[in-house]
Amino acid sequence: MNFLISISYDGSKFYGFQRLNNHDTIQAKLEEALTIINKKPVTIKGAGRTDRGVHAYDQKATFKLDIKISEDHLKKALNSLVKPYIYITDVKIVSAKFHARFNTFKKEYIYKINLGSYNPLFTDYYYTPEYPLDLKKLKACARIFLGVHNFQNFVAGTRTNYECIIYDIKFTKHQDILEIKFIGKSFYRYMVRNLVGAMLDVSRGKNTIADIKYALDNPEIPKRFSTALPNGLYLNKIYYKE
């Protein structure tokens, strides 16, 4: 049977999602638990790879098991083995061809910023800037990123294609916490953190809106902006077509 699971996790306790030798990762922890349940090695396919320190509310993964087990029993068995920093919120049996990554329709990421006083308990879960933010500049910068662009100057590493679409960027403020939600078709390595970093650069006057626009319009000319810290980033939701 082919299963799709929804996963939440505290990324501060792991070296990212993807399996790494000699390091604790979410993928390794899940595969170890599934191998115990299945009594044979299991490999999962994640919807995306989050970096070290990045959290998730709704990561997805697919995998196949040789045993017969109900969705509810699998959820309970998995959680008994992967808690407390990973928790399976949902388990579904899907078609044999369904793939957590390739069937993705849309993704949401949230970046959380603490605008209040420094709080050591927030260290792993929010970014706390050492300077005041200009919300108007952040929003003006965000509008430039909307739509289809070549994001080469905002992606780490090399790819054959840097083009993707951002449908929306929403700002929400709850007391001293600012949340920036990115909604798009897909996001490449460090892309959300680089977009946030560029926005922060503009907010504090290190770069201008014109610099951001130029970097988008001229991707072949290297231009680097700051990369926001991973601790404020959350994979919020993965969407699949019905």
CB atoms within 10 A of CB 92: 15
CB atoms within 10 A of CB 208: 13
CA atoms within 13 A on the CB side of 74: 24
How remote is the C-alpha of 155 from its chain's centroid?
A: 14
For residues 28 and 121, what is the distance between their CA atoms, to the nearest angstrom? 27
Residue 50 gets which letter from DSSP? P
Is 51 annotated in the active site? yes
H or E stretch covering 72: helix 71-82
For residues 235 and 57, what is the distance between their CA atoms, to the nearest angstrom? 6
Euclidean distance between the first and the last CA atom of the chain, given in angstroms as a whole number: 20
Phi/psi-derived region of residue 6, left when phi > 0, alpha when psi is between -120 and 50, beta in every other case = beta
For residues 37 and 31, what is the distance between their CA atoms, to the nearest angstrom? 10
- Which of the following is catalytic: 10, 24, 51, 176? 51
For residues 183 and 8, what is the distance between their CA atoms, to the nearest angstrom? 18
Catalytic residue numbers, as ranges: 51
